[in-house]
Structure 1
Amino acid sequence: MTTSTPRSPLGGLLGLVGFVLVVGGASGLLHEWFGWIRFMGFTRFLIPSGYEVLGYVVMIALGTAACVGAGARRPA
């Protein structure tokens, strides 16, 4: 029998934000490179005009960091 520590609501919110950033950044990169339909179109309002590829890469990096931070546990 395993015991798990309860997840904090802030960790869940941070995981959700990280997921949205990663998926939105990947969707934006696919749109910029291949012209596919945007999956999460609202992310284009977060990126300055002319810096789309760099902005989407930064979104993916920040989303990954948020997901890792959400999964981190405080040492006992």
Structure 2
Amino acid sequence: MKNLLGFVSFVLVVGGISGLLSDHFWDVRLFGFLRHLVPDGHETAGYVVMIVVGAALAIGTDRIGRKGR
């Protein structure tokens, strides 16, 4: 379970950063499937939310791993 949550948090953070960069600098999408999670017209806010949720999930996953020790 910890590995799955870590993978999801990685995808959200990297996908959010990739989405922000592709919207503002170039049109290359690294994780293009994540654009379906963001409503049209709110791309910047949606990608920032993805980064924040991914970071929070990574912190939570790390805390779950520390409890098991």
TM-score by length of 1: 0.81
RMSD, aligned α-carbons: 1.5
1:30 aligns with 2:30: no
Q: Which has the higher helix share?
A: 2
Look up the SS of the partner of 2:30 in the other structure.
coil
Give the aligned length.
67
Spell out structure 1 runs of 4+ moving beyond 4 A. none
Max Rg structure? 1
Look up the SS of the partner of 2:59 in the other structure.
helix
How high is the sequence identity, in percent, across the aligned residues?
51
5+ residue gaps, structure 1: 1-9
Which residue, 5, 8, 21 being the options, matches 2:12?
21
Residue 58 of structure 2 corresponds to 67
CA positional deviation for 1:11: 1.3
